[in-house]
Chain A
Amino acid sequence: MTTPAIETVALTRRFGDFTAVQNVDLRVAAGQFFGFLGPNGAGKSTTIKMLTGLLAPTSGNIRILGEDFAAHSAEIKRQIGVVPEGMALFGRLTANEYLRFVGRMYGLDRATTLKRTQELLEFMQLAGEDKKLVADFSHGMQKKLALAAAVIHGPKVLFLDEPFEGVDAVASGTLKAMLQRMIARGATVFLTSHVLEIVERLCTHVAIIHRGQLVAQGSLDELRAGGGRLGPAGPEVAPAGGGPRTLEQIFLQIVGTDREGNPAATAPEQELSWLR
């Protein structure tokens, strides 16, 4: 059996008396394109922060590439790339300066850093923005730069928190192709997105977190077949046109329930008095 690229055991994070993530047991095999889904406030970003060392877990263990994160944080950080929730760029640098800084921090030599910086800037269509500071970039440009910084050192595991948000269609296509190429070369991609169509198209495996707890995990085919459930499931959502169920339908069925398994989602028209 191969060592999973990402493995968590009973991962828990509390903020005071609020439990953001509770007993999450994740297992992501090496080379997988893994989608991590959940409604707003479900605990996705908190989980990613713990997996990348930005937030300490309250309890539980994290193993990346078979190594305990707590014991080998520096070595593991060197093997992973991250696009965090807020991108965390240095606004008073140019894109070129930022990538050069990141390359050096990850131990690349000067020549390799410069070469990869140029390649990435051209790949991300940011090469013509030499004079601009990152603070003056549009949201989409900043996202592309954050992605470039996440891959400059050739990471084995890539954590992407909403990577396609605000990125134009052309760049989005290029990025998807790049990620597929990384997967083909054996890297693992751990991605969160609210755009379920993208997840469905890219990911082979999915986990769904809801109210801090993992409620489903498995391959897309398993989930479509009704497997992979770890919690109460809501009423079946019939596929439109009789075809296989979409990820959106599966997602709504799983998270569209309250803690007792009753449907939670209500048609908005029934609630808004002025739309009656």
Chain B
Amino acid sequence: MAKVNPGGAGPHLAPPIPASTQLLAVAWLRWRIFVNSTFRRRPATARQAVGIAFAIVLRLILWPFLAAMVIGPVAGSGFWAWFVVAHHHPQRLQTLLAGITIGWQFVAINGLSVAATVSNFDPASLIRYPLRFGRYFVLRTLIGFMTPSTIVGCLSSLAAAIGIGVAKPSLAFSALAVLTVYALMNLFLTRMIGAWMERWLANRRFREVFNVLIALFAASLQLLNFQRYAPRVPGAQHSWLLNYLQSSNASLRWLPPGYAANAILHASHAFPSLIPFCGLAASALLFAAVFAVRLRKQFLGEHLSESATPRRAAKRGPRVKMAPQEPPQAIIDQPAPASAQLPKAHAVFPPVVAACLRKEWLIFRGNSAQFVGLVTPLIFVVILNRGQFATHPALFLPAAIAYVMLGALAGLYNAFGAEGLGVQLYLLAPIRMRDVIVAKNISGLTLAVTEAALAWTLVLFLKRAPIPLATQVSTSLWIVVVIMVNVTLGTVRSIQAPHRFVPGQARQRRGTPTNRTSGLLFLLAFVGSAALQVPVIWLCRYLHQPWLAAWIFGPLAAAAIAAYGLLLLNAEKLVLSHRDVLAEELCKV
């Protein structure tokens, strides 16, 4: 072969890079990213210090729940494993292992669909380095090992092995060995599902279908009847779920949980133990192979995106038309030419508000996930109707309304989040920010009010007892209170602590402590304003004064509206004093 570079060797002559060098380099990279993300922050300003304080409070509140979510399954697995082996119910061991797998995979898959994937590192970016595919496969398998689903899954498997070992020491070693392979199988299964989901979720249509499926699955969980009546109660039936679990033992035998359970329980007999163990190992290899097929395509430079978009977009032209802008102050007083007359649709609102509303509508129209978000809570209203609420109309109506508005109002707390770099237009254009805020709030409130109206209609349709007029009036006023309190606080937080996000994208940027506390504030504000109903309704019933609620909520609604008006009056000042925050968070590429 001809010489390529003076004194240079061909690429095939370069000595191979030791695997340990590259694997350790990536491990070090992950460690530094973790350390820097955790401890290395910019000096906090007074405002950020408040945000950090809120974040600490939030964590203190959440940690016990998170700890319970880890300790619960782990302790439960250990106890269950001990119980079934010690009390001679070996067939239930495979049910436990199936439970571990279902929980592990469900949490992992759900993590993919949740927008706030808190990772600053895309492992697919490693393909630009001189890695061989084998190393890339190992790295992709190991990266993300410290995710909640993997940690809890592995610890649960370990706890099950310990439980079996305590119940029957002769099975301890085999249980540990088999459950290690079982954990590996689950790890490959997670990676396999994750890699294929990543491919499919790159397609917008699939993403929408997937969101619908997740929403329906979450809704359907409410319909499960977990109750199990005591057999001695005449005519009582087991829940269908338990019946199904008990009847599924036969089919589980031929799946990895069955292989693992049989390999452990027959450990004292070589042949009956070896066959299920081989089945388990084969399952792990199968999942690893399917995972590798997907990774190989990524490694070779696969394009994960809407494949046909560029040409279609070019044919269609830009979908979002430029909204008419208000002319600069210098030419405001000049008579507008005939061609600049606004269309009739803009006559209702001032031009800037109308233009912003049109933009919001165009974005909403193209985001079917929001449609799903609008419909899903209504399913819960139907479910609520099956329970105790149905016979108490004074409770059912407000409870249903509160539930459906929870999701709709959350968006008010980060109104500028989806604008990204576009927020600069608002800051640069000769417009009043008040108009932009009003437009944003109108679009957000339209969603909340539509949701409330749909739920109200549904409640009227489903009602099993008449809903008194006093309840309807007081609920209407209470809705005004909830909406105005949240829109006021939400607008302030949207300006003070914006958080950039890309609608429909699975991997989002991690929020700052300040904007993460917005979630806590929203919950407090919403729960606080919604919880007002409880003492008021209780007071009305205690005093037998059904109209008292209306008298209480009326002034509160007026006060909330006044507070919002005050905010609008000071909107320019507020935005001006926080424009650096808006620009820094939303405009950073």
User: A-side interface residues toward B, CB under 8 Å?
Assistant: 1-3, 5, 15-18, 20, 30-31, 49-50, 52-56, 64-67, 70, 72-79, 82, 84, 88, 90-94, 97, 101-102, 104-107, 133, 135-136, 139, 156, 185-187
Contacts and interface: CB of A to CB of B under 8 A. Distances in A.
B128 A82 contact: yes
Please classify how large the interface on chain B is, using the bins under 10, 10 to 19, 20 to 34, 35 or more: 35 or more
A20 B22 contact: no
Contacts of A92: 32-33, 36-37, 120-121
Interface stretch (B7-15, B180-188, B398-406, B569-577): B7-15
A5 B4 CA distance: 7
B311 A78 contact: no
Contacts of A187: 5
Nearest to B313: A18
A77 to B, nearest CB: 4
B12 A93 contact: no
Nearest to B339: A273
A93 B18 CA distance: 24
15 contacts: A2-B2, A2-B3, A2-B4, A3-B3, A5-B5, A18-B310, A56-B303, A78-B11, A78-B130, A92-B36, A92-B121, A97-B32, A105-B130, A105-B131, A106-B130
B5 A31 contact: yes
A96 to B, nearest CB: 10
A16 B307 contact: yes
Most chain A CB within a 10 A radius of its CB, from B4, B33, B40: B4
B216 interface: no
Interface in B284-303: 297, 300-303
A56 B298 CA distance: 9
B132 A74 contact: yes
Closest 6 CB pairs of A and B: A16-B308, A107-B17, A18-B311, A104-B25, A16-B307, A78-B130
A121 to B, nearest CB: 16
A81 to B, nearest CB: 10
B1 interface: yes
B311 A64 contact: no
Nearest to A29: B4
A57 B303 CA distance: 10
Interface in B18-35: 18, 21-22, 24-26, 28-29, 32-33
A54 B4 contact: no
A20 B127 contact: no
A90 B8 CA distance: 31
Contact of A77 (B6, B33, B128, B307): B128
B12 A72 contact: yes
A79 B29 contact: no
A134 to B, nearest CB: 10
